[in-house]
Amino acid sequence: MHDTRPPAPATPKDRTIGDITLSFDNGPTVEVTPLVLDVLARQQIKASFFVLGKNLQKPQTQALMRRAAGEGHWIGNHTFTHSVPLGRQTGDDVAQREIGRTQDCLAGVVHPDKLFRPFGGGGVIGDHLLSAPVLRHLVEGGYTCVLWNSIPRDWAEPDAWVETALEQCRRLPWALVVLHDYDTGAMVHLERFIERARAEGARFRQDFPPDCVPLVAGKARADMTPYVAAEAGAD
């Protein structure tokens, strides 16, 4: 008879995965976010949801955001349209259109540190993430910029991302994993990932690895230059 029980937890000497922080981008969606919240509740894990302003225009998705916050998850800003990385957009109103409008949608659930995650365009970190005016908006507004160090590409490989995520987590002492709570079919494997990671000794936590948070409450904790596009006319 097939044993359907979760794998036994790893002992300290068998531990091959360290700490993991889960984050979910591009929601909320009525198709997938409830499933993710149910799994996290069963597994007693607190995560962060970086939401899109355009997805918060309906009562059903607003209710999901409130549910997530009510269950102890952190809610962050992931731009309004998620269309073009902010470092590649021009215009004086980009920050307000993409960040300010979304922040307005988070009234009542916003994290005190005003969490913001830029759009990477496939999970890539580079100077396309922000522009100088956008960075000024984040600094002046007291935002916390949350990046990542694990991108298992669940959107592109919905049935294969678990192995990718586990391998990435094995290489990191503390992985900040980016997953997506929209309808690709990937999140049906979320619970399996959690159980397999725990079997290898993973400890799930809600806070972020310091090297993934270069800006905290508007104050730079690391050099922001690698994430900011050069201004037009600059040498």
The tens digit of pLDDT for each residue in 34-80 reads 999 999 999 999 999 999 999 999 999 999 999 999 999 999 999 99
pLDDT at 7: 59
Catalytic residue among 25, 78, 181, 189: 25
Flag whether pLDDT at 3 surpasses 60.
no
d(CA 116, CA 53): 12
Q: Which of 6, 92, 95 is nearest to 53 (CA)?
A: 95
Q: Model confidence at 2, in pLDDT bands (50, 70, 90)?
A: very low
Residue 159 annotated to the active site? no
Flag whether pLDDT at 86 surpasses 70.
yes
pLDDT at 233: 45
Torsion, CA 228, CA 233, CA 234, CA 235, rounded to 10: 130
Tally: H helices and E strands in the chain: 7, 9
Q: Model confidence at 1, in pLDDT bands (50, 70, 90)?
A: very low
Q: Is 228 exposed, middle or buried (0-12, 13-18, 19+ CB in 10 A)?
A: buried
Task: Please name each of the domains of the chain with its CATH number.
Answer: 13-223 (3.20.20.370)
**pLDDT tens string 26-39:** 999 999 999 999 99
Catalytic residue among 78, 180, 181, 189: 180
Flag whether pLDDT at 163 surpasses 60.
yes
76: Cα separation from own chain's centroid: 8
d(CA 39, CA 20): 16
- Around 129, how many Cα atoms within 13 Å sit in the side-chain half-sphere? 23
pLDDT at 222: 96
pLDDT at 10: 54
Residue 25 annotated to the active site? yes
Percentage of the chain lying above the pLDDT 90 cut? 88
What are the tokens at 145?
């910029």
d(CA 137, CA 145): 12
